[in-house]
A and B are shown apart, each in its own frame.
Chain A
Amino acid sequence: MSAGSSSWLPRGRPSGRKALLATLMLLAAVASAFPLVWMVLSSLKTPAESMQVPPVWIPHAPSLESYEKVSGVVNVGRSMWNSLVIASITTAGVLVTSMMAGYAFAKYHFPGRSLLFSVLIATMFLPPIVTLIPLYRLVGSIGLNASLAGIIVPNLANAFGIFLMRQFIAGVPDDLVDAARMDGASELLILFKIVAPSVAPAIAALALFAFVYHWNSYLWPLTVLQGNADAYPIVISLSRLLSYNRGAVNTGLVMAGATLAVLPPLILFVFLQRFFVDSIVGSAIKG
Chain B
Amino acid sequence: MLMPAVTLIGIFILLPMLLTVWLSFQDWSTQTPFSSASFIGLDNFREIFGPTSVGRDFKGALTNTAIYTALSVVLILPLSVAFGLMVYQHDVAGGTALRTVLFSTYMVPMIAVALVWSKLYSPSEGPLNQMLGLIGVGPQPFLSSPRSALISIVFLNVWQQVGYFTVLAIAGLTQIPGSLYEAAKLDGANRFEQFRFITLPLMRRTLLFSAVIAIINAVQVFEPVALITQGGPVGSTNVLTYHIRRVGIERAQGGLGSAMAVMLMLSLIVVVCALFALANRKNQE
A interface with B by C-beta (< 8 Å):
1-11, 17-18, 21-22, 24-25, 28-29, 31-33, 35-36, 38-39, 42, 50-55, 57, 96-98, 100-101, 103-105, 108, 116, 119-120, 123, 125-138, 141, 153-159, 162, 187, 191, 212, 215-216, 218-219, 222-223, 235-236, 238-239, 241-242, 248, 251, 254-255, 257-258, 261-262, 265-266, 268-270, 273, 276-277, 280-281, 284-285, 287
Q: Check if B92 is an interface residue, CB within 8 A of chain A.
A: yes
A50 vs B119: C-alpha distance in the bound complex, in angstroms? 10
Chain B residues within CB distance 8 Å of chain A: 1-2, 4-6, 8-9, 11-17, 19-20, 23, 30, 33-34, 82-83, 85-86, 88-92, 94-95, 97-105, 107-113, 115-120, 122, 124-127, 130, 133, 159, 162-164, 167-168, 170-175, 178, 181-182, 184-185, 190-192, 194-195, 198-199, 206, 209, 212, 216, 219-220, 222-223, 226-228, 240-241, 244-245, 248-249, 254, 257-258, 261-262, 264-265, 268, 272
Query: Knowing A11-B190, A21-B89 touch, does A32 contact B127 (C-beta < 8 A)?
Result: no
A125 vs B265: C-alpha distance when bound (angstroms):
10
Nearest residue in B to A283 (C-beta to C-beta)? B171
Residue of B nearest to A21 (CB): B92
The 4 closest A-B pairs by CB, nearest first: A4-B181, A134-B19, A131-B16, A101-B5
| CA of A6 to CA of B195, assembled, Å | 9
Beyond the given A103-B1, A116-B6, A130-B261, please list 13 additional residue pairs across the A-B interface where CB-CB is below 8 A: A5-B91, A7-B199, A21-B89, A32-B105, A32-B162, A38-B116, A97-B4, A120-B5, A127-B216, A127-B264, A133-B258, A134-B254, A157-B8
Task: Tell me the complex Cα distance, A70–B245, Å.
Answer: 29
**A132→B248 contact, CB < 8 A:** yes
B244 cross-chain contacts in A, Cβ below 8 A: 129, 132-133
State A96–B7 Cα separation when bound (angstroms). 14
In the bound complex, residues from chain A placing their C-beta under 8 Å from that of B14 are: 119, 123
Tell me the interface secondary structure of chain B in the complex.
helix
Could you list 18 examples of A-B contacts with CB < 8 Å?
A17-B91, A18-B92, A25-B98, A35-B117, A38-B116, A39-B116, A120-B9, A125-B212, A133-B248, A154-B12, A223-B249, A238-B109, A238-B115, A258-B115, A266-B108, A269-B104, A280-B168, A284-B168
Chain B residue with minimal CB distance to A33? B101
Instruction: Label chain A's interface by main secondary structure.
Output: helix
List B contacts of A287 (CB < 8 A): 209
